Amino acid sequence: MKLNLRKGLLAIILMFPLLLNAEEIIVLEGNYQLRNIFVNNIIGNDGVGFCVTNVYVNGEVSTDEINQNAFEIDLTLFNLSFGDEVTVEIHYKEGCKPDVINPLALKPQATFKTVSIAVTGDGLMSWETSNETGVLPYKVQQFKWNKWVTVGEVQGVGNPGEHVYSYQAVLVSGDNRFRVIQKSGDGRVKVSPEVKTQSNSTSVSYTYDKKGKAIVFTSQTSFEVYDEYGQIIKRGYNNRIEMEELNKGKYYVNYDNTYAEVQR
């Protein structure tokens, strides 16, 4: 019994220095975007030295001067190429926390410039861009139903050279408007100029099949169905929308280049 007690006391004594020096870690992960990371530091809770104790970049100790109120993590010192994977660990004392000023520095930003953009009469979109500084998808958007609707996606190359992309869109009857956008890690959106084309296709109409409990279109079309509370219920591309499983009530249907109210 005494032996077990002595072992327990010894374990506590050995752990005591570790408890005094307990640390926490901020981890930033992403890809090198040619930007450094800036940190606001503070004095530790014990009043001795600053909060940050060490910084590691891909497992290597940073040599930046961290014992000051603010410091920069200079990623150019680690022989990184644009787009390389990066993990930054900021170790700091328990009870205090530094502030990373630009936590999205390793996330791609939407910076493209539109060199040209066009759409043919059959809906083939093409665009050329430059000044990309991160791998981000281009979202193809079509204006219909009184809003911009994302109808497709093309992955961007992500480097500053000029790149050509294309996407085959499905036209609605009448006027068609298109654009492409990219969204940065912080939510900011970069938008291209819009382009227009005219479709001579016949407008889509519908009937409600009460017996079959379905909306039947005169031809295939993209559609969205919302309930009376504005919640989307269905979305797709077809010449028929099955409604049997839906509760009775009022529904709003977007289709072709228009919309309608349907009573189930």
Q: What is the pLDDT of residue 2?
A: 46
User: Quick count: other Cβ atoms within 10 Å of Cβ 74?
Assistant: 13
Element (DSSP H or E) covering residue 111 = none
Q: What is the pLDDT of residue 22?
A: 77
Dist CA 90 CA 94 (whole Å): 12
The residues with which 87 forms a beta bridge, in sequence order, are 29
Taking the chain (264 residues) in runs of 10, the rounded mean pLDDT of each run is 47 43 89 93 84 96 94 96 93 94 93 97 97 93 97 94 97 97 91 97 95 94 96 96 94 97 92
Q: What is the pLDDT of residue 12?
A: 42
pTM over 0.75: yes
Q: What is the pLDDT of residue 16?
A: 42
C-beta separation of 29 from 87 below 8 A: yes
| Pure H helices in the chain | 2-20
Closest Cα partner for 127 from 168, 169, 163?
A: 163
Q: Which residue has the tokens 């072992």?
A: 7
C-beta separation of 255 from 223 below 8 A: yes
CATH architecture for segment(s) 113-199: Distorted Sandwich (2.70)
Q: What is the pLDDT of residue 227?
A: 95
